Amino acid sequence: MTSDIAFDTAAAPRQAQGPSRRKGDLDEAERESRIYEALLVAIVERRLPPGAKLPEIELAEIFGTNRSRIRRVLGRLAQERMVSQVLNRGSFVARPTVEDAREVFDARRLLERSLVRAAAERLGERALQRLRAHVEREREAARRGDALARVRLSGEFHLLLAEVAGNRILEDVLRELVARSSLVVALYEHVASADCSHEEHGTILDALAAGEAGAAADAMLHHLSEIEERLRLDQPEEPKIDLRSLFAGAR
Amino acid sequence: MTSDIAFDTAAAPRQAQGPSRRKGDLDEAERESRIYEALLVAIVERRLPPGAKLPEIELAEIFGTNRSRIRRVLGRLAQERMVSQVLNRGSFVARPTVEDAREVFDARRLLERSLVRAAAERLGERALQRLRAHVEREREAARRGDALARVRLSGEFHLLLAEVAGNRILEDVLRELVARSSLVVALYEHVASADCSHEEHGTILDALAAGEAGAAADAMLHHLSEIEERLRLDQPEEPKIDLRSLFAGAR
DNA sequence: CGTCGTCGGATTGTTACCAATCTTTCGGCG
DNA sequence: CGCCGAAAGATTGGTAACAATCCGACGACG
């Protein structure tokens, strides 16, 4: 047996194969993405709260598929830190620690400050209109008290900015961070804070429209810090006595 | 059958279970990580060049395991864009497009500029010494002409800076970007460029040590752009004639 | 009455097998 | 001689059964 791995570079596909699919026959990979998104949306919208168990068989039945596919989807979500997997126990909606929460917001501040500046440079009339329309939809959702839509639109505003910035890699990174933010907010939000700051997006947009990139970046930083400060990240989050290290060397 | 998913939050584990393992019995998850890292290192070090096929059975034999585990590892690498998977054809070491390459470096510039500034704020004596020692090891590798060590150490310098910056999330993001950079360099490097810029890390470090965060950030930007400019990203990369769209409507 | 130990049920993780798809080789034909 | 077509081989993708592990309940004992 040859113990070497094939090096026939020429035989490798140059790129992910093109769209050679017929009209209505959504292929298997597509179906898997649907399941992935359905789960992700359910988590982000808190219909699946942090800590909820995600049994493979039950999910397979719900989505009309088999366990192995569910398993792949859960693995993907686990890699994105949306679910945590425990050996021989299964998958659960993730419960970010306080430290995780801080790092998520730190990361977002660092990332989005620069993304806003990048978006400011590339901002065209088309993009500006999309942003305006989006903020208007946010206002409308707020007016009619649709909390679910507000949360979803609020996240999408940030993603829209990242899209304008024009780097898909960072857009994907931010997508993960926004999703994780939902978990953090779900875990640590003050009950009495549900509806503030719904005009900060408008402030950011105004600064962008005025061509003031620095002001827009500052507004973004302020906005993210506002969200974070509305959380209760100072609680001990559980005594968490480590008996093992406490009795280390005593055996 | 209850179509609802269990909501027993209380039953969920608070965190990934602690290290409750005995001395020498590295568990299954650990073995899987080993395989993952072995593959990743082989790709980064170009022993597995872009486009190389990664047959599941062969890898399973090599690592003394079964196909399903290899399959999981390949899936993880695919999610990180280190390998590309084609339905019914298998997994290949990824071949980033020219556009991918540009976005990788754009993302790194945006990210690392801020990371350097963050590192400057948190820079202690301990971290400074680690950085100095690291750059010294880079110089040594350069002196003895050890190209492999230089490439590895060069990547690790950036990761070390990210570690100093103190955000594990962004550290992980950068780890992926650095790994993808290796693929990009492997694909688009000028043959006659193999050894330049090995003192730019020193420049960055000096600026940091002098407390000049802005200069350090600028040096980082310059450094990354140097690497990118040494690539051939202006080639057509393949005519890529799309016959399908070319003859659309002609059937 | 509380605690520890044991057993049963349920869920996850693994393995082996089969089906589907793609590549390659071989043969025929122009 | 080269090109097209078909069958064989190889590899991947999916399914189902089995093994291992964990949780909860029950009962015994202190």
Report CB contact under 8 Å: B177, A167: no
Residues on chain B touching A164 (C-beta within 8 angstroms): none
Q: Do A87 and B28 touch (CB under 8 A)?
A: yes
**Percentage with pLDDT > 70 across chain B:** 80
pLDDT at B194: 56
Q: What are phi and psi of B183, to 5 degrees?
A: -65, -45
Distance from CA of A36 to the nearest CA of B (A): 13
Q: B63-92, pLDDT tens digit by residue?
A: 999 999 999 999 999 999 999 999 999 999
Asked if B72 lies within 8 A of A76 by C-beta distance, the reply is no
Helices B147-165 & B28-44, crossing angle to 10 degrees? 120
Q: Which nt has its C1' nearest the CA of A74?
A: C12
Closest CA to B42 of B54, B26, B27, B55: B54
Q: Indicate if CB(A68) is under 7 A from strand D.
A: yes
- What integer pLDDT is reported at residue A60 of this predicted model? 96
Beta-carbon neighbour count of residue B139 at 10 Å?
A: 16
Round to whole Å and give the CA distance between A22 and B151.
45
Better-scored residue on pLDDT, B31 or A155: A155
Round and report the angstrom distance from CA (B146) to C1' (C11).
51
According to the model, what pLDDT value does residue A140 have?
94
Per-residue pLDDT band for A236 (boundaries 50, 70, 90) equals low
Q: Which of A79-88, B106-115, B139-148, B185-194 is predicted least confidently?
A: B185-194
Give the CA distances from residue A124 to residues A194, A206, A207, B89, in Å, rounded to whole numbers and listed in that order.
Answer: 34, 14, 14, 42
Q: What is the mean pLDDT of chain B?
A: 87
Confidence label for A2 from pLDDT (cuts 50, 70 and 90): very low
How high is the pLDDT of residue B147? Answer: 87
Strand C close to B79 by CB, under 7 A: no
Return the pLDDT at A49. Answer: 96
For A119, phi then psi, to 5°, come to -65, -35
- Output the pLDDT for position A250: 54
Q: Which run of H or of E encompasses A90?
A: strand A90-93
Asked if B5 and A53 touch (Cβ cutoff 8 Å), the reply is yes
- Average pLDDT for residues A165-186, to the nearest whole number? 97
> Which residues lie closer than 8 Å to B168 by C-beta, 6 or more apart?
A103
B86 to A169: CB separation less than 8 angstroms, yes or no: no
Nearest Cα to A162, choosing from A152, A147, A177?
Answer: A177
Q: What φ, ψ does residue A91 adopt, rounded to 5°?
A: -110, 140
Distance B229 CA to D21 C1' (A): 54
- What residues in B contact A51, CB-CB < 8 Å? 9-12
Q: What is the model's pLDDT at position B234?
A: 85
Alpha-carbon separation of residue A18 from A133, B104, B233, B244 (angstroms): 33, 22, 22, 10
Q: How far apart are CA B51 and CA B84, in angstroms?
A: 9
pLDDT of B247 = 55
Contact state of A6 with B52 under an 8 Å Cβ cutoff: yes
Are B107 and A170 within 8 A, CB to CB?
yes
> Does the pLDDT value for residue B21 go beyond 80?
no
Nearest CA in chain B to A116: B110
Q: Which of A29, A53, A170 sits opposite B12 (nearest CB)?
A: A53
Q: Model confidence over A22-59: pLDDT tens digits?
A: 434 456 778 899 999 999 999 999 999 999 999 999 99
3-state secondary structure of A142: helix
Which residues in window 18-37 of A are less than 7 A from strand C by Cβ?
none
Per-residue pLDDT at B16 exceeds 50: no
Q: Quick: pLDDT tens for A179-208.
A: 999 999 999 998 666 556 778 999 999 999
A84 touches strand C (CB under 7 A): no
**Which sign does the torsion angle of CA B100, B111, B151, B223 carry?**
positive
pLDDT band at A21 (very low <50, low <70, confident <90, very high): very low
CA distance B8 to chain A (A): 6
State pLDDT tens for residues B129-149: 999 999 999 999 999 999 889
Please give the CATH topology (third level) of the domain spanning A27-95. Arc Repressor Mutant, subunit A (1.10.10)
CA distance A94 to B247: 49
d(Cα B85, Cα B90) in Å, to the nearest integer?
A: 6
Q: Is the pLDDT of residue B183 over 50?
A: yes
Domain ranges of chain B: 27-95, 98-230
Mean pLDDT of chain A: 87
Residue A157: pLDDT over 70: yes
Instruction: Region of B240 please: left (phi>0), alpha (psi -120 to 50) or beta.
Output: left
**For residue range A113-125, what is the model confidence (pLDDT) as tens digits?**
999 999 999 999 9
**Residue A82 β-bridge partners:** none
Task: Confirm if A186 and A228 have CB atoms less than 8 A apart.
Answer: no
Give the number of other Cβ atoms within 10 Å of residue B48's Cβ. Answer: 22
Percent of chain A, pLDDT > 90?
A: 72
Q: Residue A166 and residue A156: Cα distance in Å, rounded?
A: 15
Q: Which of residues 55-114 of B touch strand D (CB under 7 A)?
A: 55-57, 71, 85, 87-91
Greater confidence, B91 or B7? B91
User: What's the average model confidence in pLDDT over B185-214?
Assistant: 87
Q: Is the pLDDT of residue B243 over 60?
A: no
Which of A138-147, A210-219, B189-198 has the least mean pLDDT? B189-198
Q: Which residue has the tokens 């590192």?
A: B119
| Distance between B139 CA and the closest CA of chain A, angstroms | 31
Residue of A nearest to B81 (CA): A169
Looking at residue A57, its pLDDT comes to 96
Is the separation of the CB atoms in A213 and A120 below 8 Å? yes
E strand intervals along A39-150: 53-54, 83-86, 90-93
The answer regarding whether domain B98-230 maps to CATH 2.60.120.260 reads: no
CA A22/CA A24 separation, integer angstroms: 6
Strand spans (E) along chain B:
53-54, 83-86, 90-93
pLDDT at B73: 98
- Tell me the C-alpha distance between A158 and A174, whole Å: 8
Residue of B nearest to A85 (CA): B16
Residues 6+ apart with CB under 8 A from B215: B207
**Can you tell me the distance from the alpha carbon of A206 to that of A204, in angstroms, rounded to the nearest whole number?**
5
Quote the pLDDT of residue A28. Answer: 73
pLDDT tier, A66 (very low <50, low <70, confident <90, very high otherwise): very high
Per-residue pLDDT band for A220 (boundaries 50, 70, 90) equals very high
